[in-house]
Structures are given as structure tokens and as C-alpha cells.
Amino acid sequence: MNVPSNKITVRFAPSPTGLLHVGNARTAIVNALFARKMGGRFLLRIDDTDAARSTKAFEEGIFRDLEWLGVKHDLSDRQMNRLKVYSTAFYQLQAAGRMYPCFENEAELERQRSLARAMKKPPIYDRSALKLTDAQRTQYESEGRAPHWRFKLSRQKVRWNDLIRGPVEIDTATMSDPVLVREDGAFLYTLPSVADDVDFAISHIIRGEDHVTNTAAQIEIFEALGAKPPQFAHHPLLVGSGGEALSKRLGSLSLESLRQDGIEPMAVAAYLAKIGTSDAIEPRLTLDELAREFDFAKIGRAPAHFDSEELNMLNARTLHLLPYDAARLQPLGISESLWQAIRPNLSRIGDAAILAQLVTGPVTPVIEDAGLAAKAAALLPPEPWDETTWGAWTAAVAAQTGAKGRGLFHPLRLALTGRGDGPELKKLLPLIGRTKALARLEGKTA
């Protein structure tokens, strides 16, 4: 790739092995907002080297979900297209003496770990493969054993200044040498990820804090490949409102499920951008607004609490601010004036079609006070009507009937809309019009 090394470039690298959930989406949002704020690039990299679990349907779902969320990529690629790049990196590490073959199977490795635990030692790989003689390796190969390949860590302390966590130090002597290539020759996550980050000139890696330990090993691989490591930022993970892990709920918290539930994409984006930060959780209508407000210094160290009810409330507040979108609302038969009338009462966009029926009908009126309804019908003024009509008309009805407060307004709302709550009638009445209003006051469905 020919990506300028002086250009801020971030990446979001989901695996197409399941639906994109809110935890993934938060990482995507943080990367996208940082790139927008800095005028950088956003790379969407599909990490599909796990051929057994990756599917085209999940890959297409990732693109669909990010498009719905408003997160646009400047460039994209799939790891299965880039196997030659990984092979080149492997041979470079091998030539540098940092890769070594191991012949233990999983049962043998587990015995090693169990023995280490019994001796009160950390269950890290003991590097016994480095002690094999050429004759022993030949013997294993003659038995049909294929090696897996490990990267030889320095067993030194790796330090970096994390943009969220601050100074971080990890002693790689406390870690097992990571397996980069399996027995069948397939590349595991770590090597392709680093090779891609080098090739795409990734300047900042922003991801969840569950990758902090991985970062130490990856920094050593960057350096072994002769590359300068990117800057790192590890954000806390999402937990439930009570502090519980979200892992068992992620199926219900996929972007697909939120979209099907009628949650607005900007409500999701604003919520994921603000939870776990020092900013208040408030509606925003564009990613550009969120990008201007983004700052790593605002992200706290404590886990971010995801609360579905809080998202629902933010969704309603977002709808209450949305301008009229003709392409979206005209097919539902909703005009701009009707949108302005019903918007403050929405919790989901699907509610709009229901509230629109209060104007378009048919509405079966509820006549709570027949005498009041009859007198109100007689006092209906001629059209044209506007937002002042409701006030003038109800004042006239009050003067003639003596009704006031709830005794005046509630029976009129029931007659005009068939329900006891809803949008402001000063906005709704001009849209209902005199013909339908008169019919409903007379108890007729209209």
C-alpha cells in the first residue's frame, strides 16, 4: 500500500464471525471521531483469517451496520487478500532469529502449564522447543508432526505512553512467546495485524483494554520488522448498568437488533461516544459535532456502563430534535407541519405513523361529556386555522360552559383524537381541519 506515513490513519478491524455489537461499535465510533477531528483516514480491515468461523454474510453485515451508523471508511481490505504480506513478514522475523518452531501438541502444553501452576510458577511457555536438537526436530517431522511457530519475546520490559491509560509498562518475561503460525500454516491474529498496521502506515491503534497485554508483544514485533510502533489508546470495556459483563447480552445488543428496534443511528453514535467520558450524555445530530467534542482526556479509566433504558431516553431526545426528512417521512404520509406537531411525542420513529393517524384518521372519538362536545362543535370557528385557533376556541367554550382545566381540555382531546394524551392540540387542530373536528365532536368516526 502507498499510504503517506505522515497522515494520521486509524483502523477498525472486526472479524466477520458474528454480528457487530455495541462493544465493537464503540471502538469503531472512537476511531472514526478521532480521525474526523484530526483530518485523518479511517481504514476498515476485515480480519477474516479464521476461515472456519468467518462468513460472507457477517462481513456484509459489518459494512451495512457501519453505513447505518454513519461511519464511512476511506479505504478497506480483507486479510485473506493479503497472505503474501504476512508470509513476507514471517520470513523477515525468521531471518532475524525471532521465530522458532515448536512441536508440542495441546495436551503436552497443558501438562506444562499444570506443572508450572503446581510449582507456584506462572503458566507461561518454558521455551523447551529452543532446546531441541536438529535430530529431535527431524524425528518429530518424520512422525508427521508439523510445527507451530512462536515469536521469541525479548523478556524485557516494554513501555509506552497510552493516550487513555497514561504510562504503561509490561514485562514480557511474564508472557508466553505468542504463537504466530499454527501447525496447518494458518496465521493467527497477531502477525497479520502487525503486518497490516505497518503496511497501511497506521499511526494510532485505538481499541479495548483487553488488548493491553497483547500490545507489549506487538510492539516487539513492530520493532523486529524494523517499523516504528503506532501510538496506542486502550479504552475501558462496556459493562451492564449494574456492572455485569455484557457478553451474555451481546446478541440483543447487536447493531442489527437496535436498528430493528427503531433506535436512531445518531442516538447510538452519541451514546457510545459519551458513555464512560466526562461529557454529559446528550443528543447530537451529526458525527461532525461528536468529532469536535472528542478528546482522549475525557475518557475515564473505569468501565463504561451501557444502560438500554438510558439509550432509549436518548433516542427519544434525538427524535425530538430531528429536522424534517422528506425522503424518510413522505412515504409514511407525514408532512413537515405534521412532523413538527408529533415530533415531541415520539420515542421511536415508528410511533410517527401511529400519531399521524390522529390527523389523517380514521379516529373513533370518545365522547366523555356530550353537552360540552355539542357546545364546542357549535362554537368551532371558520377556517383558515393556525396555532392560535385552539386557544381562542377553548376560551370561547369555557366562557359559555364554565368548564375549565382538565374538565375542559380532557373531554375535547378525547373527542378530537380518541385518546387521553398526545401532541399539543394547538398544533394538531389546524391539521385535523374543521370538517373532521366537527364530525368527531358529533361522535362520528372521521
Does any domain span residue 325?
A: no
Same domain, 261 and 403: no
Would you give the DSSP letter of residue 306? E
> Are residues 68 and 30 located together in one domain of the fold?
yes
CATH of the domain at 400: 1.10.10
Contacts of 311 (CB under 8 A, 6+ apart): 258, 263, 267, 268, 271
Residues 244, 232 share a domain: no
Q: What is the pLDDT of residues 367-409, one digit of tens each?
A: 999 999 999 999 999 999 999 999 999 999 999 999 999 999 9
Q: What is the pLDDT of residue 74?
A: 96
Residues 102 and 68 in one domain: no
Q: What is the pLDDT of residue 244?
A: 78
Stated pTM of the model: 0.92
Of 237, 252, 272, the residue at which a domain comes to its end is 237
Q: Write the CA distances from 418 to 179, 334, 364, integer angstroms.
A: 68, 20, 6
Identify the domain containing residue 272 by its residue range: 240-319
Please say which residue of 294, 319, 344 terminates a domain.
Answer: 319
For the domain that residue 62 is a member of, what is the CATH number?
Answer: 3.40.50.620
Same-domain check for residues 167 and 197: no
Instruction: Tell me, yes or no, whether 89 lies in a domain.
Output: no
Give the separation between CA 29 and CA 293, rounded to whole angstroms. 13
Is residue 391 assigned to a domain?
Answer: yes
> Are 255 and 227 in a shared domain?
no
DSSP assignment string, 261-276 = TT--HHHHHHHHHHTT
405 and 356 share one domain: yes
On whether residue 278 sits in a domain, the answer given is yes
CATH of the domain at 108: 3.90.800.10
Q: Is residue 446 part of a domain?
A: no
* Strand pairing report for 41-46 and 75-78: parallel
Q: Convert the pLDDT of each residue in 250-308 to its tens digit.
A: 566 999 999 999 999 999 999 999 999 999 999 999 999 999 999 999 999 999 999 99
pLDDT tens digits, 81-123: 999 999 999 999 999 999 999 999 888 888 888 888 888 888 8
Considering its fold, how many domains does the chain have in total? Answer: 4
Does residue 13 sit in the same domain as residue 70?
yes
Q: Judge whether 348 lies within some domain.
A: yes
Check whether residue 365 and residue 270 sit in a common domain: no
The C-alpha atoms of residue 95 and residue 100 are separated, in whole angstroms, by: 10
Helix H, strand E, coil C: the string for 3-47 is CCCCCCEEEECCCCCCCCEHHHHHHHHHHHHHHHHHCCEEEEEEC
Q: Is residue 135 part of a domain?
A: yes
Beta carbons within 10 angstroms of residue 404's beta carbon: 11
**Structure confidence at residue 1 as a pLDDT band (50, 70, 90):** very low
| AA letter at 28 | A
Cα(95)–Cα(61) distance, rounded to whole angstroms?
40
Q: Which amino acid is at 22?
A: V
Residue 2: inside a domain: no
Q: Are both 251 and 302 inside the same structural domain?
A: yes
Clarify whether residues 31 and 57 are in a common domain.
yes
Question: Greater confidence, 104 or 6?
Answer: 104
CATH number at residue 245: 1.10.1160.10
pLDDT tens, 209-264? 999 999 999 999 999 999 999 999 999 999 887 777 776 555 669 999 999 999 99
Residues 401 and 357 placed together within one structural domain of the fold: yes
Give residue-wise pLDDT tens across range 169-193. 999 999 999 999 999 999 999 999 9
